[in-house]
Amino acid sequence: MEFRTKVDIEEPSWRVDIADRLLFVGSCFADNIGKRFAEEQFAATINPYGVMYNPVSVLHTVERLAEKGESYDVAFLTFGTNHIYILKETGEVVDNCQKRPQRLFDEQQLSVEECAGYMRQTIEVLRRMNPAVRVVLTVSPIRYAKYGYHGSQLSKATLLLAAEEVCGRAATYGETAAATYGETYYFPSYEVVVDELRDYRFYNEDMLHPSQQAVEYLWERIVDSLLTERTLQYLEEYRPIKQALNHRPFNAESEEYKAFRQQTIEKLQHLNNKYKIQQNK
């Protein structure tokens, strides 16, 4: 008997490799998954200008990175809400209200078409940075109590419909769109938490944010569906090295531990040389 409904994850036509340069932009869920990649020695840039919740703010981060001449092989874009805040004084969408009074801002909700438009703009900027970039779109499973739970669901539904429009654009709009959006893939993190885990034991004490156990489960689903065979082999070889690096000795100043630590670092360097990857630490 099956006591849960497991979400089927459609695999993309491409994979993420251990040597890829990764970018994570979006909600605090992007932080959590990005840090999980970084723990496994991926070269990961994670929300360099802070957490971004809506499609406009995600675009702002990518534009700033483009101005700096940055480039990435894979970008994970995680959208949390379709709500934006506009500073009345300037009419600009702000990425962070910086705890300023609510009266200074107008709160608005983006439509499906507007969300999709900002997502497409973000992908186009990423492609100018690297024409071969692959993009993963995902909707954060974090719930927004301040909207009311019905409002939170409506916000997520708007983002889901927008992501569907963007990811389906290559098939719908022909060769030109395929060249721009063909490497864009939707990963169902929202659906896995809401439909597959579906239990408050997979949430933190606030009952809104996924627990570390839920994040770890999503990491396992990502590993199964997105990583190359070469990367899986790397992770297997890295596991004992990671355990050694995380070891907490009784006496960190002892000569024995210093020798152990140095040997472990040399093993990591040898492993990275073997797979021809650069250390990002």
pLDDT given for residue 281 in this prediction: 43
DSSP, collapsed to helix, strand or coil, labels residue 170 as helix
CA distance 50 to 184: 24
CA distance 150 to 209: 17
pLDDT, tens digit, 9 for 90 and up, residues 76-94: 999 999 999 999 999 999 9
What pTM was estimated for this model as a whole?
A: 0.90
Query: Which two tokens mark 183?
Result: 């490497």
Q: Which range has the top average pLDDT, 3-7, 157-161, 250-254?
A: 157-161
Residue range 112-124: mean pLDDT, rounded: 97
CA distance 15 to 234: 14
Closest CA to 176 of 120, 122, 113: 120
Give residue 44's region: left, alpha or beta (phi > 0; psi -120 to 50): beta
Q: Is the pLDDT of residue 160 over 70?
A: yes
Closest CA to 53 of 21, 28, 17, 16: 28
CA distance 29 to 36: 11
